[in-house]
């Protein structure tokens, strides 16, 4: 009789802002209704020993992730970490007058990566590139601040050898396929159900199913 060898159980942590949150704090399963839930359903079917944990909080910036990175990420002993943050660091400049400089953004994001390297050096890290869909001039102007921060994320990923989930490319491909900005995002920032599916698919492609 052959004894099957089960895979080592993995813990996958997703930490970020409202796009990751997606209502998870009102969800008994704490997965929300966005891309993290779609990925949890994928793993439930294809890697049932894996545990998917959503630690998104709406409105968070890099500094907020820094403040809670211990209990909401490192203390969970993750085997894979996904970071999706950055759009609020730019959006809130225009909606709340809160300016996060590129220097401060890079310092904070680098600190997150430093902590991961020190605490869970073997855990792969996926860095999601934040995007804004130009549904109107108000959203389009966010690029004037966000583009520089996106370049910082790309540079840090290359520097550390981490994979990126390139949502700017995902958006461009979706628009070329016939989507409109509003069919992908509700307000230029928060994804619609098809938008969340596009993020989940891009994550799986990047992670290597």
Residue-by-residue DSSP string for 136-189: SHHHHTTHHHHHHHHHHHHHHHHHHT-EEEEHHHHHHHHHHTT--HHHHBSSSS
Residue 200, domain extent: 11-207
* pLDDT, position 43: 97
pLDDT for 154 equals 98
Residue 200, in any domain of the structure: yes
**Spatial distance between the Cα atoms of 182 and 180, rounded to a whole number of angstroms:** 5
CATH number for 175? 3.40.50.1110
Length of the chain: 209
Regions of the chain where pLDDT drops below 50:
none
5 belongs to a structural domain: no
The DSSP symbol for 128 reads: E
Decide if 126 is inside a domain.
Answer: yes
Residue 154 lies in a domain: yes
- Residue 15 belongs to a domain: yes
pLDDT value, residue 4? 74
Residue 130 falls inside a structural domain:
yes
Say what the pLDDT of residue 1 is.
61
Cα separation, 166 vs 139, whole angstroms: 19
44 touches 74 (CB < 8 A) = no
* Residue-wise pLDDT tens digits, 10-53: 999 999 999 999 999 999 999 999 999 999 999 999 999 999 99
Residue 125 lies in a domain: yes
Cβ contact 120:80 at 8 Å: no
| Per-residue model confidence as pLDDT tens digits over 172-183 | 999 999 999 999
- Say which residues have a Cβ less than 8 Å from residue 205's Cβ, sequence separation at least 6: none
Greatest distance between any 2 Cα atoms in the chain = 67
- CA–CA separation, 120 vs 166, rounded Å? 24
Q: pLDDT at position 209, please? A: 52
The number of folded domains in the chain is: 1
């Amino acid at each position: 009789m052959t004894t099957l060898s089960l895979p080592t159980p993995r813990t996958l942590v997703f930490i970020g802002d409202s796009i990751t949150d997606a209502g998870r704090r009102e969800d008994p399963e704490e997965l929300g209704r966005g891309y993290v839930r779609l990925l949890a359903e994928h793993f439930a079917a294809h890697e049932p020993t894996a545990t998917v944990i959503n630690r998104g909080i709406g409105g968070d910036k890099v500094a907020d992730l820094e403040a809670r990175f211990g209990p909401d990420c490192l203390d969970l002993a993750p085997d894979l970490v996904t970071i999706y943050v950055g759009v609020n660091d730019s959006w809130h400049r225009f909606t709340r007058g809160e300016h996060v400089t590129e220097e401060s953004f890079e310092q904070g994001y680098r600190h997150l990566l430093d902590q991961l390297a020190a605490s869970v050096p073997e855990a792969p890290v996926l860095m999601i590139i934040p995007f804004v869909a130009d549904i109107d001039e108000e959203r389009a102007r966010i690029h004037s601040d966000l583009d520089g921060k996106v370049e910082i994320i790309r540079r840090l990923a290359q520097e550390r050898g981490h994979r990126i989930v390139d949502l700017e490319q995902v958006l461009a491909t979706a628009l070329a396929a016939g989507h409109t900005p509003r069919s992908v995002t509700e307000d230029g920032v928060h994804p619609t159900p098809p938008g969340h599916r596009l993020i989940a698919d891009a994550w799986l492609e990047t992670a290597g199913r």
